[in-house]
Structure 1
Amino acid sequence: MTSFFSCGGLLRRSLLACCAGAALMTAHAAAAQGAERPGPIAIDSQPLGSALTALARQADVQVLFAPSLVRGRQAGRVSGNFEPREALRQLLVGTGLRATPTGERTYTITAETAAAPSVMEELVVTAQKRAAAIEDVPVAVAVVDGEDATRRNITSVTDLVDEVAGLSVNYAFGGTNYGLISIRGIGGADDYKPNGNPSVALHVDGVYQTSNAYLGMPLFDLERIEILKGPQGTLYGRNTTAGVINAITRGPGDQVEGRARAEYGSYDYVAFEAAVGGPVTDRVGLRLAVLAEAGGGFMDGAGAGLLAGFRPSVRGVVQTQVPPLVNPGRREGFGDKNLVAGRGTLSVAFAPETELTLKLFGSRDRGDTRQYDRIARSLDATLANAGENADPYEFYSVAYPSHEIDIYGGSAMLEHRVRENLNFTAVGGWQGSQRAVQGNGDGSPYPASQFDADETLSQASLELRLSDETGGRLDWLVGGFFVRDEVDFDTNWISYSALTIYDNLHQQERDSLAAFGQADYRLTSRLQLSAGLRYTRDTASYRGRNVDRNPWGISTFTTTFATTNPFVWDEDFEDDNVSGRLTLKYDVTSDLNVFVSAGTGYRGGGFDGTSIFTVAETQPFASETVDAYEAGLRWTTSRLRVSLDAFRYRFKELQATTRLSNDTNGRANVGRARSDGAEITIGAELFRTGRQSFYLDASATFLDTEVLSFSSNRVAEVLQTVGDPLPGAPDVSATLALNHHLELAGDWRLDSRLGVTHHGEESNRLNASPGNTAPAYTLVNARVELTAPGDWSLYAYGRNITDEVYFPELNGAARLVGAPATYGVGARFAF
C-alpha cells in the first residue's frame, strides 16, 4: 500500500482536474433541457445500414439493429443540427422502421408494426478506416468494447492474451518488460530490444507505436479495442506481417457524463479509475480520465539462499576481488504494481464539417519487475539452481529489481468534409518514453548475466487520408504516412560467464515513408471487389560500442565473445517495397456473405539490438515478406453471429531472435516459414424473456506452423529447427463465455459472466528444447455485478478460480508462473 500512496500527489492533482472539469461542464450544460443536445449531422442518401453506423458515429450514440432488418432499405439525406432522436426519425422515414430509446444514449431499431424483436447487438468497427458493421468487413477482426475491457481487467495490450483467441505473448530472452505479441503464430520470434520493428502493429487513437516498449502503455477509458489478424498495409500507418491492435479511447461526447471505479483484490491489489466528459460550449468538448493501480504481487522472494556470499573461482582459486553475492533477505508479495496514468481529450468543432481532436497522455510506472522462478533442485542440480525448492511462487535472488517507465505524448486528428462524398483526415502524433529496467532471464541468484538498462525513445508521425466512404457503389481511400523514431539504449551487464562487467551503448534513427490506397467497388448488388496497394520506403542508421570495464582484472570478454575491446560500429540500412491485396466478397443472402483474399505483406529490415560483439552482427538483416491467402464466412441473424476464417501464410527472410555463432542471442534472417490455420467465432443469444437473457460468445484459433528452412552455420541447429513450430504459436487457443442478464424488481439488474480460456502448448524460441516449451493450460474466471437504479453498482470477481498452476513461459530451468486464484470486489458509479 505504501507504493500506491507514493503516487498520491499526482493522483490528487488528476482527481482535482477531473472534478474541476466536471463542474465547468455541468455549469455549461445546465441550460440544456433533457439528455440530448443538437449537433451537426451530415449523412447522404445511402444504404440504411451504412447510414445508421454513420449517424451513430457523428452523434456519439449507440444504435442497435439486426442486419437482416435493414438490408435492402435505403436512407434519405439528413443534414443540419439535430438531436439524435430527431436525426434517427428523419433517417427512417419511409423505411417502415422506428428508433426506440433503450438505454442511456442507446437506440434500438425495430419494425413499426411489431413489438421489439430480440436482436443481436450491432458491432461497429473502423477496421477499414470507416465505420462498418463487423459482419460486413472482409477481414478477420475481433472487438473488445470498453465496458467489456473494464469487466475483464484489460488495462494493457498484454492483458488481451487469454482474452482473445489467436494472441500470445513471448518474453523469452528479454525478461518480463520486453514482451513480444504474436497473432496467428507470427511475432513471437521478434526482437525483444526497443529498436525492433514489431510484427504486430499497435495503434492508439490512430497513432502507430514504433517499438514493443510501448506495449507497457496503459489502456483505460476505452471505447473499444480492435484486433485485425493477418498482414495489413493498404489502410494502416505502417506495413505489418502479423496484424494490428487498434485501441480507441473515449471522446468528450455531446452531453456531460462521467464514471468512476474502485477495486480491491487479492494480494492487496488496489485500482481506481475515473473519467468525466462532455460539452464545454456548443463547439468545444472536454474529457479527462485517470487510472491508478497498486499491489497484486503474488511471488515471494527467499533471498540468495545457499549462494549468499558466493564468489566465482578461476582454476580452483576463489576470486576474492569479486564482490560476494549478497543476501537481500526475504520479501513477501513481490511483483506489486505501482502505476498512475492520465489523459485529456479536447474536441473543437470549427464548423459542421470540420472537427479537431487533441489528446495528451502520460503514465508513470514504478512497479516491481516480475521475476522468474526455477524448477526444483531435485530436477536441476546445477550450481545455478542451488537453494531452490518446488514452490513455483517462491524464487531466490540477490536483488528485488524494480523498473521506472514513463510514457508520454500527444496526438491531433483533424476531420474535414470537403464536400459530399469527400472526406479528409489528418492524424499527427508525438510521444516518448524513458525506461530504466533491471533483471535477468535466469531466475537464479547466480545468473549467467544480469542487466541494468536505460532507454530513451521518441517518435513523431503524420498520416493523411482522403476518402469517399458513403457506402455507395464505389468507396475509396488514398493516403500517405511518415514516421521518424529515435532510440538510445545503454545497458550495463554483469556477466559471470565472462567474469566482467561491460556496457552496450546503442543509438538508432529510423524513417519510414509510405503511400497507400484501397478501392471497394460493388460489381453487382451482391458482389464487391476490393483492391489495395502500398509503397513503403525504410531507412535506418545504427551506431554504438561495447566496452569491457574489467573491474575485477579477470575478464574473459574478448575470448568468450570472440571480439575486441572496445568494439565500435556505425552502419546504415535502406529498402523499399510494393505490396498489395485483392479481396472478393459475395453476399449470398442478406444474412450471409463470404470472401476470399490474396495479398503480400512486408516488414522492414534493420539491426539487432542485443549485445553486438562482431562485425557480422553489425550488418543489417533483410526485410521480411509474406504471401497471404484467406477465405471467410460471415453469417448473422437476429440471434446468431458466426464467423469462419481459414488462412495460409508463407514467409521469406523470416526475422527472428536466435542463438548466433558466438553464443549470444541476436536477430537475423533465419529462412522460410509457414503458418496455416482456421478460426471460428460464435455469438448467440440462447434465450430472452421479458426479464432475462442468456448470451454465449466463443472463439477458437487452430494453428499449424512450421520452420521450412533455417540458415545457420551449425548443422545440429539446422537439423533441430527445421520442422519445428514457430515461437508464440499455440496449436489451439480458445475462449468461451456465458453471460446472464436478469432484471430485478425496482429497476435493479444482475449481470453475471462465466469465462473459460484455453491456451495450447507453445515454445518461446526457435530451435526450442523441451525446457523452452510451455504446456497447455486452462483458466476459469467468473464475475457478478449488481446494478442499482441510480447507475451505481457493486461487483465481485474471481480469476483462475480453479487455482491452476500454469507457466506462460519456460526458459530452460527458469519458468514464468501465472497468477494463482485471485478474488476481488469493487464499486462503479456513472452519471
Structure 2
Amino acid sequence: MMLPGTRAHLSTTSLIGLAILSLAGASPASAQTEPAAEDAGTNSGDIVVTAERRSQNLQDVPASITAFDGNSLRDLRVTQVSDLSRLTPGLAVRVSGSTSDPQFTVRGIGMNNSETNQNPAVTTYLDEIALPSNAMLGVQLFDLERVEVLKGPQGTFYGRNTTGGAVNLITKRPTRELSVDARVDAGSLALREIEVGIGGPITSTLSARVAANSYQRHGWQDLIVSGPRHGDFGTRNGDLDRQAFRASLLWEPGTVFNALLVGDYSTTNDDAMAYQHTGNLKKDGSRTFCGYVATGIRDEANCGSYAIPRTGPGGTPVSGVQIFSDLQDDPRTAYASFVYGNQNDVDTGGVSLKMNADFGPVILTSVTGYRKYKRISTADDGSPYVLSDNYRDQRMSVFQQELRAGSGEGWGALSWIAGMYYTRDTNDDFVLFDQSDQFAYSAEFVSTYRQVTESLAAFAQVDYALTDQLTLTAGGRYTGERKEFSYDGSVIGSGAFPVPVQGYDNHINADRGTWRVSLKYEPSADLNLYANVSTGFKGGGFPGTIAFSVGQLTPFAPETITAYEGGVKAALFDRTVRLNTAFYYYDWKDFQATTQVNVSGVPLVILGTAGDARIYGVEGDISWYPVPSLMLRGGFNWNDAKIKNGRYDGQIPPNTPDISATGFARWEPKNLFGALTPYAQADVSYTSATFVALANAPTVKEPKAFFANARIGLKHDNGIEIAGWVRNLTDKLYRTSILGSGSASLPARATFNDPRTWGVSLGYHF
C-alpha cells in the first residue's frame, strides 16, 4: 500500500536574487560596524531578556536563564532547537525517530513521548505564542533576535506544561533604520542554505521586516538492500528540503500605542531516516532474548534482530520462525522496506498580534496568536521486512489570547503584572501500522484519534523593594483545563490478530494553582544573590498510541513539581569575569513518562504516570575576557535524579545525564588588518551516559557523548563576512533516539546524529 504525500517545493531563485541584491546594492558608507567580541560572544551578561514579561538585564533576573543573541546563534550554526543542548548545561534534547521531533528535558524534568497530542514539560514559545506539541519544533530556525532557556517550573507567567522550564524564541523586529542580514552557505552533503532578512521604515509610523530561509542537503544514510517487495537498491535516506518565510509589521503612531503583527509559513519535505537495529533475539529460533554488548551496538555472534515467518519451497509458510540478522553494523547504512514510501512532509504557519498601550501608571498588553500544522510522515522498522512500518497524517491548530496589565510610572518600590490567558488546541491523528510480515499474524492496523484541549488561567506577580538592595517577589496562577478525546481503530488482514478499540470517547477536567516566592539581594550592581521556591503543573491526558483494550486509553493524572533554588550571579574583576551558579532541589510528583508493554504479543508504547522523583544538583556558568579580543566560557551541570516509588523505584528518569558540560572560546582581534577583523571560535559539549527510557535497560542506555565544532572567519568593517566551519569534528555517531522493543518479534532500534559536516559561509550585515 503506497500513500506518498504531496511534495511542494518552493523555488529558491527569488532568495538567491535577494541575497545578491543585498550584497551588491547596500552602500558601504552606511554599513554598521559588527559588534565587538563581547557583544558577539555567546551569553553575554549584557543581554536583555523578557523572561518575566518585561525587559531586564540577564544578570538581574533572580532565576536560572541561558540566553543567546542573534549573532551567537548565527556563528554557532543553531539551525534547529535541538542544537541548543550542546550550548546549555542541564538541557538535554532527544529527537524522536525518523520525524526528528525534539524532546526537551531540563535538569531531569521532561517527557519521553513524541505523540502530537502530548504537551511537553518544557514548552517552547515563538514570540510569546505557545507551541503545544514537540512536533511543531521540527522546523528551521532563522532570523532570530535571541533565544532564552528558562530553567525550573514557570508556573506564574507561563502556566501549565512548564514543570521543567520554557524556551523563548524571539524573532527580529522591524527597525526604524534600514537593516540587511544576508547569508549563503555551501558545504558537504551538497548543502545549500540561503538566508535573507531586510527591515526598515515604510512611513514615519510604520516599519516592516521580511525574512526567508532555504535549506537543502543530501542525506548520509545509504539503503544497501531493498525489501522483498518494496524499495530500490542504493537509495539514499535523509535528504532535507526546508523553506521558510516570515513578515512583520510594526506600527507606532505615537508614544502611547504600538502594535506588532507577525506572520510566518514554512514547509519541510524531508526523507525519513531508517532505524538501525540493536540485536535482541537468540539466533537459535527460540524467540527468546539474548544478552547485550555493553559497549557495542549489537552482538552479531549470538543475536539477531528480526523474527520473520519461515518459508518452504515457493514461499510456502512452514512452522516456526527464522531469525534475520543485519551484518552491517555501520549506522551510515540501513536495511529498509519503506512500504509507505519515504517522507517527512510538514506545512505549518501562523500569525500573531501584540499590542501595547502605555498610559503612564499602567501598561496594557494583548497577545493574540493562531497557528496550524500538518504533517505526513512514514517510518520503517529498519528491516527489509514489513514488521512495524507506519504512515501518519497529523493535523494541529492552536489559538491563544493573553491580556495583561503591568505597572508603569509612579509606583515607587512596587511593580506588578496581572493578566488572563486562554488557549484552545485541536489535534487529529491518523496512522496505518503495517505488520504484514509479522510471524504470528499478517495485518495492517488503523488508528485515529481527535483531542481538543481548552485552558483558562489568571495570573499575577508583585515585586516589592524592601530596601535598595533587597527585593521580595510573590506570584501565582490559577489554571483550569479540559481535554476531550475520541479514538477509533480497525484492522485489515487475516489470521489471529487483536482488534483495536472502536468508538471510544472520554474527557478529563483539571484545575490547579501554582505559585512562586523569591528573595533577591543585590549588595552591589555586580552581585545578585537570590533564593526562590516555585511550583509547576502539567495537565493529565490520554495516550495517543494504538490501543487494543480500553485500559490502554485510560487517562493519566496531572504531574506537579515543587522546586527550591538558590543562586549567585556575579560580575568580577572590572566585569571581565561573569560567574553564575545555582543550586536546586526538585520534588516531582506523579511524573508522566513512556514505558513499553506487551499486549497480545504486540509491543506498545504507553504513556502514563511513572511515580514520584526527587532531583537535586548544582549548575555553573562562567565567562571570562582575559583580553578584549578573547572570550572564554564554560558551563556545567551535575544532577542526581532518582525515582522514589512505584514500578521504577530507584531508577533514573529518562534523558537525565549525571553530568553535562559545555565550553566555548572565541578570538576576535578588532581591526587586526586595518578594516579587516579575523576571528576563530570553537565549542565543545559533553554528556555522561544516559538512559533514554523506562525501564533502565542496556538497550536504552546511551553512552557518554562528546561533540566539538569550529569556525574561522574574516569580517570587513563594511559588513561583509566570509567564514568556514566544521560540525562534529570527531565524526562520532551517537544514538539520538532508542526504541527498546519489549517484543520477541520486533527489533530494538535507534537513530543517530549527523556525521561530520563542513561548509563555507558568505554574509553581509548592516
In the superposition, the TM-score normalised over structure 1's length comes to 0.80
Secondary structure of 1:612 counterpart = coil
1:185 positional shift: 1.3
1:533 to 2:533 alignment: no
Alpha-carbon deviations, 1:484-507, whole Å to 9, x = none? 011111001102365200110101
Alpha-carbon deviations, 1:115-156, whole Å to 9, x = none? xxxx97612111111111111101110001111111122122
Mapping of residues 787-826 of structure 1, within 5 Å: 787-812=715-740, 813-826=748-761
Alpha-carbon deviations, 1:164-210, whole Å to 9, x = none? 221212346x6443432111111143x31101111011100111111
Alpha-carbon deviations, 1:639-693, whole Å to 9, x = none? 01111011111111111111246352111112111221111001110223xxxx1
Partner of 2:107: 184
> Separation in 1 of the partners of 2:580 and 2:177?
36
> Separation in 2 of the partners of 1:727 and 1:709?
15
Deviating more after overlay: 749-758 vs 491-500: 491-500
1:269 positional shift: 1.4
1:204 to 2:126 alignment: yes
Secondary structure of 1:302 counterpart = strand
Deviating more after overlay: 176-185 vs 363-372: 176-185
> Separation in 1 of the partners of 2:760 and 2:402?
43
> Separation in 2 of the partners of 1:415 and 1:19?
37
1:342 to 2:281 alignment: no
Structure 2 unaligned blocks of 5 or more: 1-6, 278-296, 308-323, 741-747
Q: Using a 3 Å threshold, how does the CA distance of structure 1 residues 105 and 694 change in structure 2: closer, same or farther?
A: closer
Contact 1:772 1:811 in 2 (8 A): yes
Code of the aligned partner of 1:241: T
Larger RCO: 1 or 2 (CA < 8 Å, sep 6+):
2
Partner of 1:740: 667
Partner of 2:256: 353
1:237 positional shift: 5.6
Secondary structure of 1:259 counterpart = strand
1:604 positional shift: 0.8
1:492 to 2:432 alignment: yes
Partner of 1:329: 233
Partner of 2:423: 483
Partner of 2:450: 507
1:351 positional shift: 2.0
Mapping of residues 154-233 of structure 1, within 5 Å: 154-171=78-95, 175-189=98-112, 191-233=113-155
Code of the aligned partner of 2:633: D
Contact 2:159 2:537 in 1 (8 A): no
Secondary structure of 1:653 counterpart = strand
Code of the aligned partner of 1:613: F
Mapping of residues 110-129 of structure 1, within 5 Å: 122-129=46-53
Code of the aligned partner of 1:335: G
> Separation in 2 of the partners of 1:427 and 1:19?
36
> Separation in 1 of the partners of 2:30 and 2:418?
38
- Correspondent of 1:282 among 199, 204, 222: 204
Secondary structure of 1:289 counterpart = strand
Partner of 2:691: 763
Q: Using a 3 Å threshold, how does the CA distance of structure 1 residues 533 and 588 change in structure 2: closer, same or farther?
A: same
- Correspondent of 2:652 among 725, 736, 740: 725
1:369 to 2:272 alignment: yes
> Separation in 2 of the partners of 1:297 and 1:472?
59
1:527 positional shift: 0.8
Partner of 1:697: 633
Secondary structure of 1:148 counterpart = helix
Secondary structure of 2:264 counterpart = strand
Secondary structure of 1:537 counterpart = strand
> Separation in 2 of the partners of 1:412 and 1:295?
34
Q: Using a 3 Å threshold, how does the CA distance of structure 1 residues 469 and 766 change in structure 2: closer, same or farther?
A: farther
Q: Using a 3 Å threshold, how does the CA distance of structure 1 residues 107 and 425 change in structure 2: closer, same or farther?
A: farther
> Separation in 1 of the partners of 2:22 and 2:350?
21
1:234 to 2:153 alignment: no
Secondary structure of 2:137 counterpart = helix
Q: Using a 3 Å threshold, how does the CA distance of structure 1 residues 620 and 242 change in structure 2: closer, same or farther?
A: same
Partner of 2:192: 270
> Separation in 2 of the partners of 1:301 and 1:503?
27
Q: Using a 3 Å threshold, how does the CA distance of structure 1 residues 445 and 430 change in structure 2: closer, same or farther?
A: same
Contact 2:508 2:541 in 1 (8 A): yes
Contact 1:478 1:518 in 2 (8 A): yes
Contact 2:122 2:161 in 1 (8 A): no
Q: Using a 3 Å threshold, how does the CA distance of structure 1 residues 198 and 469 change in structure 2: closer, same or farther?
A: farther
- Correspondent of 1:295 among 211, 217, 220: 217
Q: Using a 3 Å threshold, how does the CA distance of structure 1 residues 617 and 255 change in structure 2: closer, same or farther?
A: same
1:392 positional shift: 2.2
Relative to its length, the structure with more helix (as a share) is: 1
Partner of 1:135: 59
Partner of 1:779: 707
1:549 positional shift: 1.6
> Separation in 2 of the partners of 1:379 and 1:792?
58
Code of the aligned partner of 1:242: G
1:252 to 2:174 alignment: yes
1:773 positional shift: 0.4
> Separation in 2 of the partners of 1:636 and 1:566?
60
Code of the aligned partner of 1:600: T
1:17 positional shift: 8.2
1:407 to 2:348 alignment: yes
- Correspondent of 1:557 among 498, 513, 519: 498
1:592 positional shift: 1.5
Partner of 2:320: none
> Separation in 2 of the partners of 1:193 and 1:614?
18
Code of the aligned partner of 1:650: D
Q: Using a 3 Å threshold, how does the CA distance of structure 1 residues 469 and 162 change in structure 2: closer, same or farther?
A: farther
> Separation in 1 of the partners of 2:19 and 2:206?
17
Secondary structure of 2:73 counterpart = helix
**Aligned residue pairs: how many?**
701
Code of the aligned partner of 1:503: V
Contact 1:273 1:291 in 2 (8 A): yes
Secondary structure of 2:674 counterpart = helix
Partner of 1:455: 394
> Separation in 2 of the partners of 1:105 and 1:633?
28
1:617 positional shift: 2.3
Relative to its length, the structure with more strand (as a share) is: 2
1:382 positional shift: 3.8
1:802 positional shift: 2.1
1:465 to 2:385 alignment: no
Structure 1 unaligned blocks of 5 or more: 1-5, 37-101, 110-118, 310-324, 559-564, 711-717
- State the identity %: 29
Q: Using a 3 Å threshold, how does the CA distance of structure 1 residues 9 and 175 change in structure 2: closer, same or farther?
A: closer
Q: Using a 3 Å threshold, how does the CA distance of structure 1 residues 572 and 21 change in structure 2: closer, same or farther?
A: farther
> Separation in 1 of the partners of 2:30 and 2:22?
19
Secondary structure of 2:86 counterpart = coil
1:652 to 2:589 alignment: yes
Q: Using a 3 Å threshold, how does the CA distance of structure 1 residues 602 and 383 change in structure 2: closer, same or farther?
A: closer
1:354 positional shift: 0.6
Secondary structure of 1:195 counterpart = coil
1:236 positional shift: 2.2
1:278 positional shift: 0.7
1:449 positional shift: 1.2
Partner of 1:150: 74
Contact 1:707 1:724 in 2 (8 A): yes
Q: Using a 3 Å threshold, how does the CA distance of structure 1 residues 167 and 633 change in structure 2: closer, same or farther?
A: same
Secondary structure of 1:233 counterpart = coil
Q: Using a 3 Å threshold, how does the CA distance of structure 1 residues 103 and 625 change in structure 2: closer, same or farther?
A: same
1:238 positional shift: 4.1
RMSD over equivalenced CA pairs, Å = 2.7
> Separation in 2 of the partners of 1:680 and 1:19?
43
Partner of 1:587: 522
Mapping of residues 680-691 of structure 1, within 5 Å: 680-688=620-628
Q: Using a 3 Å threshold, how does the CA distance of structure 1 residues 791 and 540 change in structure 2: closer, same or farther?
A: same
Partner of 1:82: none
